[in-house]
Amino acid sequence: MYPTATDTRGLAGQTVGDTQICSVNQTQLIYRGYEIADLAANATFEEVAFLLLVGHKPSADELATFSGDLVSMREIPASVADAIVRIAGESPSAHPMSVLRTAISLLGHLDSECEDNGPDAELRKSMRLLAQIPTCIGIHQRALEGKPAISPDPALGHAANLLWCMTGEKPGNIAARVMDVSLILYAEHDFNASTFTCRTIASTNSDLHSAICGGVGALKGNLHGGANEAAMAMLEDIMRDTEGGDITVEAWMQRAFEEKRKLMGFGHRVPRNFDRRAGILREWGLKYAAEENRESSRWFELGDEVQGIMLREKNIFPNVSLSCGMTYFAMGIPVPQYTPIFVASRITGWCAHVMEQHANNRIIRPLASYTGPELTTWNG
Amino acid sequence: MYPTATDTRGLAGQTVGDTQICSVNQTQLIYRGYEIADLAANATFEEVAFLLLVGHKPSADELATFSGDLVSMREIPASVADAIVRIAGESPSAHPMSVLRTAISLLGHLDSECEDNGPDAELRKSMRLLAQIPTCIGIHQRALEGKPAISPDPALGHAANLLWCMTGEKPGNIAARVMDVSLILYAEHDFNASTFTCRTIASTNSDLHSAICGGVGALKGNLHGGANEAAMAMLEDIMRDTEGGDITVEAWMQRAFEEKRKLMGFGHRVPRNFDRRAGILREWGLKYAAEENRESSRWFELGDEVQGIMLREKNIFPNVSLSCGMTYFAMGIPVPQYTPIFVASRITGWCAHVMEQHANNRIIRPLASYTGPELTTWNG
């Protein structure tokens, strides 16, 4: 399923540039010098966002200012809120990622610094998008449910406010922390497809909002961010098919292998054999299930059984998408919002990369090998 | 200004994949086996669009059906038209490329085949976008001028209809053909930054509209499609500064060299020293100026003088952006619409590449070299 080092299609295994933001290898995921398990255990998402966007661990004062600024930036212009509600009414089946792509594009028109690619303006634009994306997600989800939008709550941090805007319920401490940890885990992953998209767009001297719209589009695919939705859809399939007792999980998996069905939530190009994030989020998901939603534990049991079979039969480890899918499911988050929530986190990594690209730019313009028809003449 | 072959930042000189769509080298630009000068002399833009999207030169019947289908697809949903007018009112300074990015994102929500990445659906979506983009451009430009939108004219081809929707005037034969040729020249250029963006987005299994929104964002930058606007802005600067006789063009250029000012419309990474398209479009621009707008000839004279100095002093040739800027200027097209017009053409190449990517997909996910801080711990 995953390529060998000598198979370079899709730029697999090809190092295409430098970054000071993130390091991913077979054993570690590091954000600007801090290992992901350390951050998940000891930092908040706001601290990680500051680290990624500004470049160092914030002091207490820096963090207070940064967090306060984010809270003050959460409201979105009325015309963008209206547009999201209108789209939910006119195109209720539009994927939330497509709607978020539109919302961010609209926010660009109204951002007075839209065309300023300088570092100060780009940091401010990054913070505005970081603050506004949960608002956009919340308005869309509520509109789909026929409910009025909820104002962001200044008393809540980024993760808790995101849950509040989506559900209209103040999350408990565990729910808020589980979401916070998931946002930390998802914030950055070096030159993944969406980040590389952002950098390629920025490399033409285009603006940050243009880059982020591209990143949202890339993250949407089920080989990337969309995998957490796809992984959960797969688990729902297995649960439904096996619940009646007509088929065992083992038999379901063997049939999927025989049919060469693509199973989501397993393997990763980088790292190949071990996704540090999967275990961290599984622990938090289990904690949430045990303390807040015992009934949801059966999803983790199913996930563990499926993981075990994949490892035994295919030697492929689960990735973070599977843990994330189960955890968000246990928390009652609508499946189509999983990838938009990923955006609410990865916006930090994307924006950090856009700033890094603009600080030392060279257009990303590779070559192709032509394998088409030989030269001929039009009238001939 | 342009990299050596051994300097691989920005993937310069790196072949990253195969394509049957286009070949660019130091002497030729080939679309699926046909050389660009042959196409510019003997084909229409609709024929080239068919060639790129379907894969072969159309028969007379195929062309009639394709062209008729495009005409029938030009109208856009009322809600998208309304949104464009609203944006023009609320954000009159928003760049037309940003507005086009939003418009295409909105069209995605309303496309019933949005999430279908199969080849038949993607060809139909490509044709719809090809047909609808001139409508979007026209509505936006007219709204900026405070004028009502104009309905597309079924009697006009793609190029003439584009001019009609923007200006409200039926173009003469020469204007229509000049626009047609410029669209042929701009349609495709292998793995340029915007096309590579489209392919990267598509490579996650994301949808065509998401890919195209990314492509529009990438093309916007002044190191890419935005160069035609930037080149014309530079010529306007030179014309204004030199008209009074206080400074000669020669002195203006020498000063720009001394100030290391980036001069737009010159050089290209691929091809390095000769942009086949520049000469073709210059000829058509001169023909238009001679027959339709004699006053505009002074821009071509200025352009020729500037080109000559660049070649003598820096050994850098003009690229197509300079010819395009002067030609569109002579035709009275508003400068901020130059890059959206580029989209009205390049949409064909982008969509062809999205289909090619999806037909034989592998996620585009390179690696980065980490140059950030050494590993440390969060608390201490």
Q: Token pair for residue B359?
A: 């037909």
Question: What's residue B272's pLDDT?
Answer: 74
CB A57 to CB B365 under 8 A? no
* Residue A366 in contact with partner chain B when CB distance is under 8 A: yes
SS3 B18: strand
State chain A's mean pLDDT as an integer. Answer: 94
Residue A49 distance to chain B (closest CA, Å): 14
The answer, yes or no, to whether residue B151 has pLDDT greater than 80, is: yes
Give the span between the Cα atoms of B8 and A149, in whole angstroms.
49
Strands B367-370 and A15-19, bridge-based pairing: parallel
Q: What share of chain B is helix, strand, coil (3-state, %, to 5)?
A: 60, 5, 35
pLDDT one-digit tens code per residue, B364-376: 999 999 999 999 9
At B269, is the pLDDT very low, low, confident or very high (cuts 50, 70, 90)?
Answer: confident
Question: What's residue B26's pLDDT?
Answer: 78
Instruction: Note the Cα A140 to chain centre separation in Å.
Output: 17
Contacts of B197 (CB under 8 A, 6+ apart): A197, A200, A201, A214, B211, B214, B215, B217, B218
* Residue B208 in contact with partner chain A when CB distance is under 8 A: no
State chain B's mean pLDDT as an integer. Answer: 95
Question: What's residue B7's pLDDT?
Answer: 66
- Nearest beta carbon to residue A204 from set B42, B210, B218: B218
pLDDT one-digit tens code per residue, B333-370: 999 999 999 999 999 999 999 999 999 999 999 999 99
At A5, is the pLDDT very low, low, confident or very high (cuts 50, 70, 90)?
Answer: very low
Question: What's residue A262's pLDDT?
Answer: 86
Give the mean pLDDT of B136-162. Answer: 97
Distances in Å between the Cα of A327 and the Cα atoms of A51, A97, B102, B260 are 26, 20, 33, 55
Enumerate the residues of chain A whose CB falls inside 8 A of the CB of residue B209: 98, 217
Question: What's residue B3's pLDDT?
Answer: 42
pLDDT one-digit tens code per residue, A229-240: 999 999 999 999
Residue B189 distance to chain A (closest CA, Å): 10
Kindly report the length of chain A: 380
Instruction: Single out the residue of A118, A175, A166, A117 nearest to residue A145, CA to CA.
Output: A166
Contacts of A334 (CB under 8 A, 6+ apart): A141, A166
Enumerate the residues of chain B whose CB falls inside 8 A of the CB of residue A34: 375-378
| Contact assessment for residue B322 and residue B303, using Cβ atoms and an 8 Å cutoff | yes
A43-49 contacts, C-beta under 8 A, 24 or more apart: A43/A184, A43/B378, A44/A157, A44/A180, A44/A184, A45/A157, A45/A158, A45/A159, A45/A180, A45/A183, A45/A184, A45/A187, A45/A345, A46/A70, A46/A157, A46/A158, A48/A183, A48/A184, A48/A187, A48/A348, A49/A130, A49/A158, A49/A187, A49/A348
- Angle formed by the axes of helices B297-314 and B249-258, nearest 10°: 50
Give the span between the Cα atoms of B39 and A379, in whole angstroms.
9
| Residue showing tokens 């939008």 | A149
| Contact assessment for residue B178 and residue B285, using Cβ atoms and an 8 Å cutoff | yes
Distances in Å between the Cα of B329 and the Cα atoms of B280, B326, B334 are 16, 5, 7
Distances in Å between the Cα of B4 and the Cα atoms of A357, B13, B176, B189, B193 are 20, 9, 40, 21, 18
Enumerate the residues of chain B whose CB falls inside 8 A of the CB of residue A368: 15-19, 22, 190-191
pLDDT one-digit tens code per residue, B66-99: 999 999 999 999 999 999 999 999 999 999 999 9
Give the span between the Cα atoms of A175 and B376, in whole angstroms.
29
pLDDT one-digit tens code per residue, B274-313: 788 999 999 999 999 999 999 999 999 999 999 999 999 9
Domains defined for chain A, CATH in brackets: 37-220+343-359 (1.10.580.10), 227-330 (1.10.230.10)
The answer, yes or no, to whether residue A274 has pLDDT greater than 80, is: no
The structure's pTM equals 0.96
The answer, yes or no, to whether residue A7 has pLDDT greater than 70, is: no
Q: Which residue has the higher pLDDT, A5 or B213?
A: B213
Give the span between the Cα atoms of A21 and B368, in whole angstroms.
10
| Contact assessment for residue B15 and residue B172, using Cβ atoms and an 8 Å cutoff | no
The answer, yes or no, to whether residue A63 has pLDDT greater than 90, is: yes
SS3 B103: helix
pLDDT one-digit tens code per residue, A283-310: 999 999 999 999 999 999 999 999 999 9
Residue B92 distance to chain A (closest CA, Å): 9
| Residue showing tokens 């797969």 | A234
Q: Which of residues 74-93 of A touch B (CB under 8 A)?
A: 79, 83, 86-87, 90-91
Question: What's residue A271's pLDDT?
Answer: 79
Give the mean pLDDT of A241-247. Answer: 90
DSSP A376: B
Enumerate the residues of chain B whose CB falls inside 8 A of the CB of residue A136: none
| Contact assessment for residue A281 and residue A181, using Cβ atoms and an 8 Å cutoff | yes
Residue of B nearest to A106 (CA): B102
| Contact assessment for residue B364 and residue A196, using Cβ atoms and an 8 Å cutoff | yes
The answer, yes or no, to whether residue B1 has pLDDT greater than 60, is: no
Residue A200 distance to chain B (closest CA, Å): 6
- Nearest beta carbon to residue A363 from set B10, B18, B110: B10
B293-302 contacts, C-beta under 8 A, 24 or more apart: B293/B330, B293/B331, B293/B332, B296/B326, B296/B329, B296/B330, B298/B239, B299/B235, B299/B239, B299/B326, B299/B329, B299/B330, B300/B326, B300/B330, B302/B235, B302/B238, B302/B239, B302/B242, B302/B249
Count of alpha carbons within 13 Å of B360, Cβ hemisphere only? 8
Give the mean pLDDT of B188-192. Answer: 97
- Nearest beta carbon to residue B368 from set A42, A105, A190: A190
CB B205 to CB A222 under 8 A? yes
Contacts of A158 (CB under 8 A, 6+ apart): A45, A46, A49, A70, A130, A134, A180, A183, A344
| Contact assessment for residue A357 and residue B16, using Cβ atoms and an 8 Å cutoff | no
CB A372 to CB B20 under 8 A? yes
- Nearest beta carbon to residue A102 from set B106, B194, B379: B106
pLDDT one-digit tens code per residue, A158-184: 999 999 999 999 999 999 999 999 999
The answer, yes or no, to whether residue B58 has pLDDT greater than 50, is: yes
CB B375 to CB A102 under 8 A? no
Enumerate the residues of chain B whose CB falls inside 8 A of the CB of residue A369: 15, 17-19
Type of residue numbered B92:
P
- Angle formed by the axes of helices A338-359 and A320-330, nearest 10°: 130
| Residue showing tokens 């990303």 | A364
Probe site for chain A from B195, B370, B374, B375 (most A CB atoms < 10 A): B370
- Give the whole-number percent of chain B exceeding pLDDT 90: 90
Q: What angle do CA A136, A137, A138 make, to 5 degrees?
A: 90
Q: Which residue has the higher pLDDT, A270 or A344?
A: A344
pLDDT one-digit tens code per residue, B30-54: 999 999 999 999 999 999 999 999 9
Give the mean pLDDT of B212-221. Answer: 98
Residue of A nearest to B87 (CA): A109
DSSP A10: G
The answer, yes or no, to whether residue A2 has pLDDT greater than 80, is: no
| Contact assessment for residue B265 and residue B230, using Cβ atoms and an 8 Å cutoff | yes
CB A213 to CB B105 under 8 A? yes
| Contact assessment for residue A365 and residue B268, using Cβ atoms and an 8 Å cutoff | no
* Residue B357 in contact with partner chain A when CB distance is under 8 A: no
